[in-house]
Amino acid sequence: MSAIDAYISYAVNVVQVLVADIDFQEPTLQLSLICIAFNPIFWNIVARLEYRKKILTKLAGNNPKRGCYLLAITIFSIGIVRDLVYENALKKQPTSKILTDNTILKDYLSYATFGFGGILTLSSMYALGVTGTYLGDYFGILMEERVTSFPFNITDNPMYEGSTLSFLGTALYYGKPAGLFATGFVYLMYSIALKFEEPFTAMIYAKRDEERSKKQN
């Protein structure tokens, strides 16, 4: 057996052991996965309804900025609920010795991953502001130019990637294979969300630029 085959065999065995330590029947894990899926689905549906029907703007007294702040509070709140449900789910899941016996994973990588995830999330919020972070473009609150400062100079989606890293860091800290599975699910849901968000956002700005071009001509 070659070194590569041996490595692959070892990796497969590790994955099998980790999966065996996940209690998929535990209701709290199922609820956590539902929350993880619900959040991006919710804000994409609400944002598109806002773009087409101006529902939140009308609820906020025909004030787009107030409507955006209303959505921001809602998204932030359901995000907190999701995180609390996730942490509670981990506490009821089996702990893996593969993760807890590895000091590097638990004491160093978990903190580094969670910390860097937090940096990406908070710095992107600072760079974009409330309306830039919470889908203000769907309310007609558009930015004049693309943000290219940190963290957008190292990644296009620091908010999503930072959130995913925070999930991963928490999973490593508690030594829970279920957390690794949930992290993968977070990444999947964000990837799907981006497939809808990025082209729609590009369309909004392209339409704005087209209208400006018509006015100039």
Q: Which residues are annotated as a binding site?
A: 115-117, 197-198
Residues whose CB is less than 8 angstroms from the CB of residue 68 and which lie 6 or more positions away in sequence, other chains included: 56, 130, 131, 134, 135, 136, 139, 141
Give CA–CA dist 201/209, Å, rounded: 13
Binding residues for S-adenosyl-L-methionine: 115-117, 197-198
Give CA–CA dist 146/152, Å, rounded: 9
Helix axes 110-133, 158-174, angle to 10 degrees: 150
Alpha helix segments (H runs only) across 21-176: 27-53, 55-59, 64-91, 97-100, 103, 110-133, 158-174
Give CA–CA dist 186/167, Å, rounded: 8
- Tokens of residue 197, six digits: 């968000």
Helix (H, G, I), strand (E, B) or coil at 134: coil
Give CA–CA dist 69/66, Å, rounded: 5
Cα-only R_g, the chain: 21
